[in-house]
Structure 1
Amino acid sequence: MRVLTICLILPLAAAAQEARVAEGEDLFLRYCATCHGEEARGDGSMQKVLSVDVPDLTRLAGEDGFPHFDVIAKIDGRDPVVSHGGAMPIWGDFFDEGEGAFVRTEAGQPIVTSPPVAALVAWLETVQR
């Protein structure tokens, strides 16, 4: 019975993760691509007029894997981004909406954030090179 339950849950979890990644891509294109570029490489159309360099978000992962907490902290304002007026996003509290969502780090530590931030992080993790 336990094996059957796991076999039924795993495809559902994979489908939910795929949906989260797709939502994250949509959110990124809507809210972030103007500065960060459609492929998150820091080459958005606004980059030319900004007074700071826009980072290449496809190179966030290092030897220790993807820095989930650091990325979430930048997006949700726990670690203010000066170039975003001290907090990101500067477009209001959209990314604070919804009940808490969990993101698990490489080490399995849960981080609570909003569903939109969890979706953005899920997509950003897929575009690392």
Structure 2
Amino acid sequence: MGISRKGLNACAAIFAIMGFAGAGWAQSVAGAEEYTRACASCHGLTGHGDGPLAEYMSIPVPDVTQIRARNNGVFPMLEVIHLVDGRSGLRGHGGPMPIWGDRFEAAVASEMGDVGTEIAVRGRVLALATYLEAIQQ
């Protein structure tokens, strides 16, 4: 009995996440790539809320380099993960921010099966949140 493609993909996702956990450099690269793809159009390449779509938003786009400063010097990792993921029921910025957990899930669901998809989504969200922590000023 062999391992299915979904099983192999789930295993690959697990090893990728484990690699991210042990390799800060790889995680920051993955997080920077996620940020560029998912966030920079509104928050700007440097995170200051000045992306090309920011002027079209109905509410001001926050400077994500100031999250720690707005939280008394502490980066609220779990809160950031919940805002990015969106699947916890919390919504970033009062509503207009996309629910990246759902979008990430839709991007990989057909390839990885339920477990692999969940691992991949959580890894992408964690990489992004870790990157946001790294760019705090």
TM-score (norm 2): 0.65
1:71 maps to: 80
Which has the higher relative contact order, 1 or 2, with Cα contacts under 8 A spaced 6 or more apart?
Answer: 2
From the two aligned structures, give the one with the greater strand fraction. Answer: 1
Question: Post-superposition shift, 1:95?
Answer: 5.3
2:99 maps to: 88
1:120 maps to: 128
CA distance in 2 between partners of 1:117 and 1:31 (Å): 11
Question: Post-superposition shift, 1:50?
Answer: 1.1
Q: What secondary structure is seen at the aligned counterpart in 2 of 1:114?
A: helix
Unaligned runs of 5+ in 1: 1-11, 102-112
Unaligned runs of 5+ in 2: 1-18, 109-116
CA distance in 2 between partners of 1:58 and 1:46 (Å): 18
Aligned residues: 104
TM-score (norm 1): 0.69
From the two aligned structures, give the one with the greater helix fraction. Answer: 2
Residue 43 (1) aligns with residue 50 (2): yes
CA distance in 1 between partners of 2:57 and 2:29 (Å): 28
Letter in 2 for 1:121: A
Are the structure 2 counterparts of residues 13 and 57 from structure 1 closer, same or farther at C-alpha, using a change threshold of 3 Å? closer
